[in-house]
Structure 1
Amino acid sequence: MKKNMGGADRIIRLIIAAVIAFLYYNQTISGTLGLVLLIFAGVFLLTSFISFCPLYALFGFNSCPTKK
């Protein structure tokens, strides 16, 4: 897998995942919506750690800075 996520994109995904996790454990969001959002947060964490997003690859998008 070739990296296709830049640093800013990774940080934004980590922040979003942390906010969703906080809202879920604070019981602000619950039920089916809470579980779905928690799964999205898990996917955001995973893609942030490996710096690869399958949807970016599918659509040909790359936010990783170019190397000279």
Structure 2
Amino acid sequence: MEQNVGRSDGIGRVALGGVLGVVSLAILGDAIAGAPVALSPVLGALSLILLITGATNTCGLYSLLGVDTT
């Protein structure tokens, strides 16, 4: 796949992915009261997607939509 994620877009993805990962782990550790436990794997998966696409500068959804932020 061709790189289609620009530098600032990639940095934003990695930052947001990190935050979502921490929130996911906090939900699992009962640090966030009242949050449904089923939300943790969803946030974890989203976190991994953002971290991977930010690190590789490649986004499959961008390819499908014809978006290029490089």
Secondary structure in structure 1 of the residue aligned to 2:58: coil
Paired with 1:13 and 1:21, the residues of 2 have a C-alpha distance of: 12
Q: TM-score, normalised by structure 1?
A: 0.83
Map 1:18-37 to 2 at 5 A.
18-27=18-27, 28=32, 29=35, 31-37=37-43
Q: Structure 2: where are the runs of 5+ without partners? A: none
RMSD between aligned alpha carbons?
A: 1.3
TM-score normalized by the length of structure 2? 0.81
Question: How many residue pairs end up in the alignment?
Answer: 64
Percent identity at matched positions?
27
* Structure 1 residue ranges (4+ consecutive) displaced by more than 3 angstroms after TM superposition: none
